[in-house]
Amino acid sequence: MAKKVLIIEDDKFLRKVLVRKISAEGYQIVEATDGEKGLKSVEEEKPDLVLLDLVLPEMNGFEVLAKIKKNPNHMISKIPVIVLSNLGEEKDIKKGLELGADDYLIKAYFTPGEILKKIENVLKK
């Protein structure tokens, strides 16, 4: 069965590029446009992996990440999360990893192809 990837990203264009790239590899995609909807999708859809932006409306990505990783339901808290953001300061990266992100990618440094490889790496673990 195709693995399910949830993309939480508010920028329509970036989301579209990601969806196209990742779905072309046979993944099933669920999209969310803000933090609150994203968290709801995590709980309802139980994806195999979450791709999470940090600067989001409604609830920021750090909060979403914390809520996933601290969820009492193990089926939720164990879902791997890759942060995909343009917040590139060391304090942000440190915070993201401390909250339990499996990887932290800065958008400007990675192409969609490279992001796809990171997704495959995390799913292999």
Partner 1 sequence: MFFWKKENKKNNNKKEEWFYESLPGTNLMITDYFTDGLLIFDKDNKIILLNPKAEEFFEVKEENVLGESILELGRFSRFYPLVSLLGGGIKEVFRRELQIDEGFILEVTSVGILKDGARVAILVILHDISRDKLTQKMKTDFVTVAAHQLRTPTSAIKWSLQVLLEEDLGKLNKEQKKVLEKTYETNEKVIHLVNDLLNVAEIEEGKYLSKMVLFNIEELVQEIIKDLKEQITEKKISLILEKPEEQLPQIMLDVEKMKIAIKNILDNAIKYTLSKGKVLVSLKRESEKNIIIQIQDTGVGIPFEEQDKIFTKFFRGSNIKKIDTEGTGLGLYIAKNIIEAHKGSIWFESEEGRGTTFYITLPIKERFGEYLTGEFY
Q: Is 123 in the site for partner 1 (CB under 8 A)?
A: no
Nearest approach, Cβ of residue 15 and partner 1 (Å) = 10
Report the distance separating Cα 112 and Cα 101, nearest Å.
Answer: 19
CB 48 within 8 A of CB 79: yes
Using the contact rule CB under 8 A, the part of the chain among 28-36, 56-64, 71-79, 103-111 near partner 1 is 103-111
- Pick the binder of partner 1 from 40, 46, 111, 121 (CB under 8 A): 111
To the nearest 10°, report the CA torsion of 84, 104, 113, 61: -20
Provide the token pair at 76.
């939720």
Sign of CA dihedral 119, 30, 7, 114: positive
Among 14, 59, 66, 122, binds partner 1 (CB under 8 A): 14
Q: Does 74 bind partner 1 (CB under 8 A)?
A: no
Cβ proximity of 64 and 35 under 8 Å: yes
Does position 119 interact with partner 1 (CB under 8 A)? The reply is no
User: In whole angstroms, how close is the CB of 57 to partner 1 at the nearest point?
Assistant: 14
Does 20 contact partner 1 by CB under 8 A? Answer: yes
